Amino acid sequence: MDISQFVAQSIGTWRSQRSAHHLAFQHFEAVQSVVDITTLDMSDERVIALCKSYDVDPSSAIAPFHMQWEGESDWDEDAEPIKGETVLVPVPDANQPNHGQLLREQGYAETIEAAGKYYFTEDGMFVLETSYDRAAAEERIWFANPKLRFRVSMIKTSGGSGVVTASFASEIKTNA
């Protein structure tokens, strides 16, 4: 598995069922959402702008994509629907093709730009580590089959040892 194959497999519309475990107080949160992942052209101005803001030469980026999600959590029944979108741009390492950077217009954990480091394990699991100001996130994504992917995320305090939230998403592709 390399980043191009991984992005290609991810393109589509996914029905996502996500459980978040808030570990300190043993709370379960259930989130149902629809996630749309579409390819972007390398020439897309949002891709170029994101590369620029990280001083990355756009020619070293590959397979940029757009992600959009909309869903509902059972955490607070009165809350507005969870909604968002972001642009993601992979930048493989020149020397280690299974490693690279993933630039993101807007993070999940904080609404700021973020650049995470990714690698693939030998059995095709994508692992992404992102450091924020006061927290760090680790995300693992893998395909059980072409129409089913799993996503495990954890949010750690910036010290790194304290994991505050772990979450698990099962995502079923509803179209090609």
Give residues in contact with its own copies (CB under 8 A): 15, 17, 19, 21, 23, 26, 28, 30, 32, 121-123, 125, 127, 138, 144-145, 148, 150, 152, 154, 161, 163, 166, 168, 170, 172
How many Å from the N-terminal Cα to the C-terminal Cα in the chain?
19
Q: Give kind and range of the element (H or E) at residue 53.
A: helix 45-53
CA 122 to chain centroid, in Å, comes to: 20
Token code pair at residue 37: 């992942």
Give the position of tokens 């979450």: 167
Task: Say how far apart CA 129 and CA 152 lie, in whole Å.
Answer: 12
Cβ 72 vs Cβ 33: under 8 Å: yes
Share in percent of the chain as helix, strand, coil (round to 5): 10, 55, 35
Task: Find, among 33, 27, 4, the residue nearest to 151 by Cα.
Answer: 33
